[in-house]
């Protein structure tokens, strides 16, 4: 099986200088691609000059994560796509465990490695940690990260496990499955489009695994800072998109409940003197209303069993029961595992 490591870039010269050398040094098994989203800096020239063996795919516009990868991957011939953020440091032999699992588990469609924080390498990273899940109200959480609580990596999640979704920071997928699922939904622009694609892969009876034997370090906020209001907007809106498109039962009750909780989150932002985030939630809801009919038309009708929902909402378990670690959650794993 041939592997392609595809790095999406937008004005990322500084990130490429810091993180690309590790990818080049430790990815001998793969062809590396730079998929450039119409950058206005000299990042493409930097790669062409310093890493001439890296193939450049030049997108015509900055379509975000979703469209950027959709446009670029049409030109990638390898069997396995590893979509890697430009702010990820990889480690020696990181590709071998992923390739081994793909070769020996034909039902597996998508993988992610253990993702640790680049700033604090003893802790899990916010974006994916050691594999993600989604609760019945559409809230994502991970082995090693629930909301803003990051666990120390003490080897507690070193066993490979089936998961609900793999992180877009380092997202390995079979080429045929990427196109069979319909690629990323470009209406998302960025954030949670990988959760949507993983949910669709579950409906097609594929498996998704976290492989902690492979390890990478993620900086985070490389193109959009974690506390930027646009990130709040995209996460709140796209989470609602996920429910409409993919949840099997009690869809609109879940959406109604979720929007009430969004309102409480907005009040919390106001109390914290973060009015721009409150406005971002309002904009997210209005955008959701405008696109609701479109999302209903995209709704998946080929349902497998509900794969994602724990016994209780993650909000209840985290804020009321004070379960801040994945290992403390009630019914944390996939229902059909």
pLDDT of residue 249: 87
The confidence score (pLDDT) of residue 330 equals 75
Residues 239, 241, 243, 246: is their CA dihedral positive or negative? Answer: negative
- Residue 255 C-alpha from the chain's centroid: 21
Kindly report, residue by residue over 214-230, the tens digit of the pLDDT: 999 999 865 555 678 99
Q: Find out whether 59 and 38 touch, Cβ atoms under 8 Å.
A: yes
Phi, psi (deg, nearest 5) at residue 40: -105, 0
What's the rounded mean pLDDT across residues 112-134? 97
pLDDT tens digits for range 278-304:
999 999 999 999 999 999 999 976 665
Task: Please report the DSSP string for 29-58 in residue order.
Answer: TEEEEEEEES-SSSHHHHHHHH-TTSEEEE
CA–CA gap between residue 255 and residue 258 (Å, rounded): 5
Cα–Cα dist 221/78, whole Å:
29
* Location of structure tokens 């622009």: 189
As a whole number of angstroms, the distance between CA 7 and CA 44 comes to 12
CA nearest to 244, candidates 186, 305, 291, 276: 291
C-alpha 144: how far from chain center? 15
CA distance 201 to 104: 19
Q: What is the pLDDT of residue 337?
A: 30
User: How far is C-alpha 168 from the chain's CA centre?
Assistant: 3
Q: Percent of the chain, pLDDT > 70? A: 93
**CB crowding 210-246: b at 16 or more within 10 Å, else e:** bbbbbbbbbbbebbbeeeebebbbbbbbbbbbbbbbb
Q: 309 pLDDT exceeds 60?
A: no
The structure's pTM equals 0.93
Res 303: pLDDT: 60
Could you give the domains of the chain? Answer: 3-218 (3.90.550.10), 229-328 (no CATH)
Give the pair of three-digit tokens for residue 102: 């793909």
Q: Averaged over 262-286, what is the pLDDT?
A: 97
Instruction: Please check the confidence at residue 311 and state whether its pLDDT lies above 80.
Output: no
């Amino acid at each position: 099986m041939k592997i392609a490591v595809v790095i999406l870039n937008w004005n990322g010269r500084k990130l490429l200088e810091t993180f690309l050398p590790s990818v080049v040094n430790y990815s001998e098994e793969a062809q590396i691609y730079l998929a450039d989203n119409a950058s206005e800096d000299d990042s493409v020239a930097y790669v062409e000059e310093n890493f001439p063996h890296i193939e450049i795919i030049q997108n015509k516009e900055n379509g975000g994560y979703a469209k950027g990868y959709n446009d670029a991957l049409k030109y990638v011939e390898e069997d396995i796509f590893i979509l890697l953020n430009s702010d990820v440091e990889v480690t020696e032999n990181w590709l071998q465990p992923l390739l081994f699992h793909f070769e020996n588990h034909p039902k597996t469609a998508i993988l992610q490695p253990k993702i640790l924080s680049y700033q604090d390498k003893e802790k899990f990273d916010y974006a994916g940690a050691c594999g993600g899940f989604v609760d019945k109200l559409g809230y994502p959480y991970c082995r090693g990260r629930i909301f803003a609580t990051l666990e120390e990596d003490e080897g507690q999640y070193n066993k490979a496990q089936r998961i609900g979704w793999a992180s877009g920071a380092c997202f390995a997928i079979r080429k045929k499955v990427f196109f069979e699922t319909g690629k990323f939904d470009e209406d998302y622009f960025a954030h949670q489009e990988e959760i949507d694609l993983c949910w669709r892969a579950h409906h097609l009876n594929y498996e998704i695994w976290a492989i902690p034997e492979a390890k990478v370090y993620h900086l985070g906020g490389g193109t959009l800072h974690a506390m930027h209001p646009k990130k709040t907007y995209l996460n709140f809106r796209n989470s609602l998109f996920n429910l409409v498109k993919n949840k099997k039962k009690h869809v609109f009750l879940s959406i109604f409940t979720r929007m009430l909780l969004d309102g409480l989150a907005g009040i919390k932002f106001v109390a914290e003197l973060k009015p721009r985030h409150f406005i971002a939630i309002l904009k997210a809801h209005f955008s959701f209303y405008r696109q609701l009919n479109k999302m209903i038309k995209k709704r998946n009708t080929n349902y497998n069993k509900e794969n994602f929902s724990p016994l209780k909402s993650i909000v209840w378990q985290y804020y009321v029961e004070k379960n801040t670690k994945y290992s403390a959650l009630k019914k944390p794993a996939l229902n059909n595992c």
